[in-house]
A and B are shown apart, each in its own frame.
Chain A
Amino acid sequence: METSSTQTDAEECGANITTVSENILKQFFDELAKDESLSEIALNLRKTVLDDGVFAEPAIRAAMFPDAS
């Protein structure tokens, strides 16, 4: 692809390419983080869902209840 090198550049530049889902989920986690008691959970969920792309129940449970064994 003639643009492959520039696409890599775009990714490295952190070009703001997001899907509708990602935008909605980001806003959801931002809202969640505003609640002091849920801010840690919001961070964990954001990492699990948006950064790692994991939607499995065990991972979501672990993000929500980090102290549960």
Chain B
Amino acid sequence: MSALAGTAVGLSVPQLEGDDKLCGSAQYIADLHRPGMLHGAILQSPHAHARIRGYDLSAARALPGVRAIITGDDLDEQHRMGAFIKDEPAFAKGKVRYVGEIVAAVAAESEAIARAATQLIRVDYEELPAVVDPAAALAPDAPLVHEGSAQYIKVFDAGTDGNLCSRTEFTSGDVDAAWAGCDTVVEATYTTQAQAHVSLEPVGALAEIDAGGRITLWSANQSVFRVQASVCESLGLPMTKLRCLTPRVGAGFGNKMEAHVQPAVVLLAMKARRTVRMILSREEDFETVRARHPFSIRIKTGARRDGTLVAREIEVLLDGGAYGDDSPGVLGYALLMQCGPYRIPHVRAHGRVAYTNKLRFGAFRGFGVPQVTFAAESQLDELAEQIGIDRIALRRRNMLVPGDPWFGGQAIRSNGLAECLDIVERESRWREPVAAPTPDAPSGQRLRRGRGIALSAHISGLLASGAIVRLLEDGSVLLNTGAVDIGQGSNTVLTQICAEALQLPVDRVAIASPDTDGSPYNWGTTASRVTYVTGRSVVGAAAEIEKKLKAHAGEMLECGVDDLELLPGGKVAVKGVAQKSVSFADISGRAHWAAGGPLIGTHSWVFDQKTFDPKRAVALGLPFAQIGIFSFNALVVEVELDEATGQVRVVGAWSACDIGRAINPMLASGQIEGAFVQGMGYALVEEMVWDGARLANPSLMDYKIPTMGELPETLRAYLIESDEPSGPFGAKSVGELGINGVAAAIANAIADAAGVRLRQLPMTGERVLRGLLESAAAS
């Protein structure tokens, strides 16, 4: 591992925003207040699919206190946004495509008036047949969610056609020939459900407009730059007219990565020519924004009798909902990652996303990997059972070792997977028998325990970042990266990286809040990319500052720059002669007042490692041409299953993550633990349920996430440091890694406990009990 100055990296520094959060003074979007501001409210579509024939706003306009109303008539047909396919207007125009879609919005003197006014808006709909099932949507005579889908602008070869939003295929080797060389082949279908993000903070935005028409937009977001792009594209605004800022954000998990109410709020502010704030209710957030893609997965894996994996075919169908959003990326990424961290020479991975008349499905922690890992890691256990080989032995035999590339040939230069597996095998006491909590209970009334394992991976490198480091007049440092801290602690981690690079204590570095006016471009807080991609920018910008510091110091100390070194605490000294030094403050003074000008260090880059080696894999419809740098996870869970009710609870979880280097061990562990519990909800409890085309459970009464009561007795995160050579101080990222294997590990543990193999999520008590009864009937 590269040596550290020890001022910052590797320290469990508490979050820099901790005081505000612990005193309740942190300002989230709903806490922002402007004197005289208007309040916004939305009108939602009652129909899953309908043409909008017209609006009657007269009653709404007449309500005292109403200041602006916007509808699709205020939008231009040409202006559409979308991360991969420009298919989405700012809100519904011409048609509504899902129940709950924003059809109109009102700004008024109070929220109560705004909400009352929305109920006075009359919309003339012509109902159309709706399609809610993705397979039905791809049938030849299905109603078209987007009639003009082929004409939309796309950023890659999506293959869009009718309700086919995108299609992707990756092949490696010769799968069709390879089955013949397999001694065992297992094939099965898995289905996964829509999961709601349930960030504790519902979405919202606040837009201010100046006399010249320039807008300042605050919103709960994961990327000020994606907000800017989406609002400007969907409203036809030049980017110079919109400044996007970030308050404290109450989590996102992907829900706040792309636009939500921002375009509507900006348009309201423009129409009212006053500040407008709009915060969605919990129900509106559930119904309107986005959720995790349901997947239907057909997967087939072949191996030799010694357990060596030979061939994999996987076909997926994603429910994309009404708009493309991040769907093509989720599809492509899921297919890239479905092999898991294993060598499989012959692979065909293909899939499609279908438009349906439901809310858009989009980014959610894991981005398709929890879904395919559920299928693939479950299948590996079934394969192990069929071959008669130990579940861990099968994985050890095939897992990627240092030197192996990822599926498709991308080089991996740090791989700590073996240590991850070793530690969870040991710590979970895998080799010992599980406890039998009710040894004397009769059959049908027992509590049964079992263990399951899953290995998975996630990337760290994607798209662009920049960083600006400035030396302030007193020698302290200001860092500006544009990366949004959504609670995961990126502000703290990036500050630590900068401090370490300049050998400063953390409290001598301040970090600016993301602002499209002042911050360098950062694609967003998503894809687990901030520590790695933005961290590298921070290192690069700090290196520039170091160069400039030394240039000054060389002149001040009359020596060559190669004879100089940084000392901890903000000094530049002659190597080996600590007394011959100048402080950062001295240098800054010289620069500001005498020579050279203020010290500014910058760095800008876009991740450019190619996803695939064209000699190793063929790709069709590849949404990310450059994505990579792999972190690895080994996860063991122990479950307890109640035979009487089928209910499963997790009693122990041991999750080891190779993250290259833990910049902040406490924050990294927090990500792993939080991801586990969120994954546990995904595996056992959470499900968005549709009643026809209407979401039946858009409330926290009916949609349940794990409570403290569900916390396993043992939940352990282990940090493995394999030192990624390209990473900032060796770091890779950790934000999503911990969720990917959870559903699979739990499914495998249930099979271990009770011999029931579930292939549908969530694995509710009902589904488990049905499985128990079916296997009892079969035997």
Task: Judge: A and B partners, yes or no.
Answer: no
Binding site for A on B (CB under 8 A): none
